[in-house]
């Protein structure tokens, strides 16, 4: 992971030309979805399955937006966060339980200008977020620190599997790596959403660095507790054997 670039500006420009200004919205309940990832996503509920199918009849783009209260059954404007991620549907598989599994490329952040409808589908007019940034010494130093922190955390954290490390190595740009790390760390959904809403790349990387530092401290504490428990168990076993003699 020695890629010191930020995202390719030409790619972003060409992408903007094909992305729609109106999106079918699919609510996310458990966590926000970040850009720059190819992933499967299981969709349930007749309304949202039909939303996906309707999108696939046109351009195949959908907007993935986190809801504030996942227990709320009605779709209400006030329950949606304003920033989400546009995704391109690549494939749909029908599941035996009536749900669908879609394979998507998540592409770019967007901000909802206004909701256009809630029935029969949720649709919204949106603005895409411009994430262009100039590379300077400070950003370069932050990117170096980001990769160093990821390397340190991933060596001791079993959650960072070889597959995840390979995915990170293939990401084009430090901002995509920051998004990917934010998406896989075990943090609150609201904290992930704050990172999704951080459009400034320096600020976003800084927030991810703070999260990685917290993860390192938790790992140290976990290791210390485990050593204390092992020491206590060993001592108790030794005392037991001494009594038996």
Residues 59, 20: contact at Cβ < 8 Å? yes
List the one residue out of 166, 210, 165 whose CA is nearest residue 187.
210
The winner for highest mean pLDDT among 27-41, 128-142, 211-225 is: 27-41
Rounded CA separation 93/102 (Å): 6
Say what the pLDDT of residue 34 is. Answer: 96
- Residues 72-111 as b/e (b if ≥16 CB within 10 A, e otherwise) read eeebeeeebbebbbbbbbeebeeeeeeebebebebbbbbe
Please check the confidence at residue 90 and state whether its pLDDT lies above 90: yes
Say what the pLDDT of residue 199 is. Answer: 93
* Right CATH for 137-231 from 2.40.50.140, 1.20.58.1480, 1.10.10.10, 3.40.50.720: 1.20.58.1480
Say what the pLDDT of residue 215 is. Answer: 86
Mean pLDDT taken over the chain: 88
Residues 47, 121: contact at Cβ < 8 Å? yes
The winner for highest mean pLDDT among 47-56, 171-180, 232-241 is: 47-56
Rounded CA separation 196/121 (Å): 24
pLDDT category at 184 given cuts 50, 70, 90 is confident
Show the DSSP H helices in 22-99 as ranges: 46-57
Please check the confidence at residue 15 and state whether its pLDDT lies above 70: no
Is the backbone peptide bond immediately before 120 cis, with ω within 30 degrees of 0?
yes
pLDDT category at 149 given cuts 50, 70, 90 is confident
- Would you kindly state where each structural domain of the chain is located, as residue ranges? 9-128, 137-231
**CATH class name, domain 9-128:** mainly beta
Q: What is the mean pLDDT of residues 2-19?
A: 58
The C-alpha R_g of the chain, in whole angstroms, comes to 22
Fold match between 9-128 and 137-231? no
Per the model's pLDDT, the better-predicted residue between 152 and 28 turns out to be 28
Please check the confidence at residue 8 and state whether its pLDDT lies above 70: no
- Per-residue pLDDT of 226-245, as tens digits, reads 889 988 898 888 877 777 66
Q: What is the mean pLDDT of residues 29-33?
A: 96
Element (H, E) at 102: strand 100-117
């Amino acid at each position: 992971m020695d890629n010191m670039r930020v995202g390719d500006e030409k790619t972003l420009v060409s992408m903007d030309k094909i992305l729609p200004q109106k999106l079918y919205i699919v609510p996310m309940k458990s966590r926000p979805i970040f850009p720059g990832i190819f992933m499967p996503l299981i969709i349930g509920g007749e309304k949202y399955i039909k939303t996906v199918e309707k999108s696939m009849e046109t351009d195949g783009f959908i907007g993935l937006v986190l809801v504030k209260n996942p227990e709320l059954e009605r779709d209400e404007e006030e329950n949606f966060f304003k920033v989400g991620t546009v995704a391109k549907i690549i494939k749909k598989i029908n599941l035996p339980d009536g749900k669908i599994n879609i394979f998507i490329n998540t592409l770019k952040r967007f901000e909802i200008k206004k909701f256009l409808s809630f029935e029969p589908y949720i649709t919204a007019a949106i603005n895409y977020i411009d994430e262009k940034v100039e590379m300077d010494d400070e950003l370069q130093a932050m990117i170096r620190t980001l990769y160093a922190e990821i390397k340190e955390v991933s060596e001791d954290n079993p959650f960072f599997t070889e597959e995840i490390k390979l995915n990170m190595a293939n990401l084009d740009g430090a901002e995509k790596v920051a998004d990917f790390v934010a998406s896989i760390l075990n943090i609150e959904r609201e904290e992930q959403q704050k990172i999704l809403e951080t459009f400034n790349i320096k600020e976003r990387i800084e927030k991810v660095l703070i999260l990685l530092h917290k993860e390192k401290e938790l790992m140290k504490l976990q290791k210390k507790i485990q050593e204390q428990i092992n020491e206590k168990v060993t001592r108790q076993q030794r005392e037991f054997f001494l009594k038996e003699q």
